[in-house]
Chains A and B, each alone.
Chain A
Amino acid sequence: MVAQNATLKSKEEIIEKLKKPEVISGSEILLRSLVLEGVECVFGYPGGAVLYIYDAMHGFSDFNHVLTRHEQGAIHAADGYARASGKVGVCIATSGPGATNLVTGIATAYMDSVPMVVITGNVATTLIGTDAFQEADITGITMPITKHSYLVRKAADLPRIIHEAFHIANTGRKGPVLIDIPKDVSAEMTMFQPVSEVSLRGYNPTVTPKKQQVDKLIKAIETAERPLVLAGGGVVYSGGHEELFEFVTKSGIPITTTLLGLGAFPSGNELWLGMPGMHGTWTANMAIQNADLLINIGARFDDRVTGKLKGFAPHAKIVHIDIDPAEIGKNVPTDIPIVGDVKTVLEIANKDVKWAANADAWRAQLAGWKAEKPYSYKDSDEVLKPQWVVEMIHEETKGEAIVTTDVGQHQMWAAQYYKFNQPRSWVTSGGLGTMGFGFPSAIGAQMAHPERTVVSINGDGGMQMCAQELAICAINNIPVKVAILNNQVLGMVRQWQELIYDNRYSHIDLAGSPDFVKLAEAYGVKGFRASNKEEARAAWIEAMNHPGPAVVEFVVNKGENVYPMVTQGSTIDQMLMGDEE
């Protein structure tokens, strides 16, 4: 791990020192304000327009700064940090290309409602608009993918703006906020006045729901014969997993959790049906299609969950609990809208919710389906199966690791076969589907939880989109365990080309990729390779026992597909089941 600086003083001492009003530079105001917001770790990359900021960071020890090897690595790491910790992720980049390299990461966080404060430098205010060297209109570029953004005009505004940015990022529906600081503003000397109040007339998220709406939900449960909970990332983000557990176990309503909701409810519980949607379980999808009451708790009816909208949950009365009123009714017409913070809504509901007494037959039916049709794959002793690898990793980490993934087949297998029991242990780019996210996000997650095992499951494609960050793992001894499921192909694209484009394989061959063991070792990270079960388990155990970061390349079979699969344009009960055993 990055060594905590030896000169780190007690928190109170630091805060008292920092709050003192005095004339300092915009850059120092920024650093002080970040510390006052509780920031402990920042990911960044310097450059011309942030030189004053980095100058102020020289010898600064009140938070950690992790120098990544690419701005993309910095922002995904900040994202992983935020998802794993629940705190606001922070990253810094310079103007122009530094800022534009953050765009994918900002969009990733925006789509999955991850709280982040993104700080960019810009050219001096006197140069803005002149196409100056390394100038980019980053507030303009990121307007559609930020919750809010600021272009700072004077240093005296910084304390207010930073405080507002953290407040906006981490309340309501969370999301990334960008602060663009021109170079002259970061140099400007001004009197620092810390700000601790927020006054935003246009921003007042509804936390407490209308009681009569919750009463309607309670009433609907009383009469429902086939009720179902669909829980999403909102449960995790609101910290409402315990309330969800109480709600579900008190009412006995079966539950399915979306990709981002994995870990919001313990997977070992008998009421849990698995994940719904395109690669969801047969039982979860059939439950949705047969339910007479669908209670959406903090999910957004994403198209990967709903499949064809016309024909989605055709028999169900829809209840939708969401902090963002714009999500309610956006995709699926809603009978009982409940606007509010998931945790707060469930706290209120739990006072009145009773056992769903009419649903006994339904519970039995779903339990039967669940036993009859679990996820399955045809195992092999000749070739290494990626699903088996995930199961093995689950076993060896006792299901207690923080798992991050990239995007594609391995992501779905990880979601299917790693059984999560606690929230904030699953970090994946669900909405944007960002390749290159898996590995750097693990670095952030490990920074947030130095004591936990962090496993990053990747494909051979996505791993090459951010492999350069192996350097910071080695240098800072960040002990992330990286699994690469190498099938020498862009697997999910291959699967679609096989099933939907009639076996016309176009530009998906990744043969000739670097030797991942050598690649790891070039960066000073321990590397392993495994091609069969025996090697795989041995290599993984060795990697786990190694005190530092390690990469394990699993050579898996090429033609494996993710099943079940709902093809685009089908309702979710139309599942391809593959070659089950």
Chain B
Amino acid sequence: MKKHTIAVLVNDQPGVLQRVSGLFGRRGFNIESITVGTSEEAGLSRMVIVTTGDDSTLEQVTKQLYKLIDVIKVIDLSANPMVARELALIKVNAEPAVRPEILGVVETFRASVVDIGTHTLMVQVVGDTEKIDAMIELLKPYGIRELSRTGVTAMIRGNARP
């Protein structure tokens, strides 16, 4: 089982997210994360989906996606040198005594504090999945109140060709 990051260029039509996610569901393909937003072209959206499975699963996912009329292009980003990023907001318990420690972690990760409450800090961290996982591990001992991750968005590097 391998993790694959794929980009799906789709028509920006009502129901298109349902078509794509429904396809994954009914064919038994796993979705680890899915992000959707506008693309460089008006009328088209780009979805970035992280899925797990062997190579034949990926082949089936790709072929089945192409069968959707609203799907324009499917690219296996992770088969290429790529940049993958996600953003997480982490609300962590932070009594005044431990704040310097937490700020130390935040600084090391080049993350930032985006909100300060009486008993909590909200930390924003951007990076690849491993970096965010590591950050969460380090903040766990303080008590994470709330965690929200965007899921991965990704792109092939400038000099690589899909």
Contacts and interface: CB of A to CB of B under 8 A. Distances in A.
Interface in A137-177: 139-140, 143-144, 147-149, 151, 168, 173
A151 B15 contact: yes
A330 B69 contact: no
B56 A326 contact: no
Interface string A35-63: 00000000000000000000000000000
Contacts of B131: none
A326 B22 contact: no
A200 interface: yes
A512 interface: no
Residue from B10, B15, B56 whose CB has the most chain A CB atoms within 10 Å: B15
Interface stretch (B57-65, B88-96, B153-161): B57-65
B69 A144 contact: no
Contacts of A173: 67
Contact of A140 (B18, B63, B64): B18
A325 interface: yes
Given A144-B22, A148-B69, A168-B69, A325 B63 contact: yes
A248 to B, nearest CB: 29
Given A143-B18, A151-B14, A201 B72 contact: yes
Contacts of A201: 11, 72
B60 A330 contact: yes
A184 interface: no
Interface string B9-34: 01100110011001000100000000
B70 A202 contact: yes
Interface string A121-145: 0000000000000000001100110
A116 to B, nearest CB: 16
Contacts of B68: 202
Given A151-B14, A326-B64, A329-B56, A143 B19 contact: yes
Contacts of B69: 147-148, 168, 200, 202-203
A330 B71 CA distance: 20
Interface in A321-337: 324-326, 329-330
24 contacts: A139-B15, A140-B18, A143-B15, A143-B18, A143-B22, A144-B22, A151-B14, A168-B69, A200-B69, A201-B72, A202-B10, A202-B11, A202-B68, A202-B69, A202-B70, A202-B72, A203-B69, A324-B67, A325-B63, A325-B66, A326-B60, A326-B67, A329-B56, A330-B60
Interface of A: 139-140, 143-144, 147-149, 151, 168, 173, 200-203, 324-326, 329-330
Interface of B: 10-11, 14-15, 18-19, 22, 26, 56, 59-60, 63-64, 66-72
Given A140-B18, A148-B69, A173-B67, 19 more contacts: A143-B18, A143-B19, A143-B22, A144-B22, A149-B15, A151-B15, A200-B69, A201-B72, A202-B68, A202-B70, A203-B69, A324-B67, A325-B66, A326-B60, A326-B63, A326-B64, A326-B66, A326-B67, A329-B56
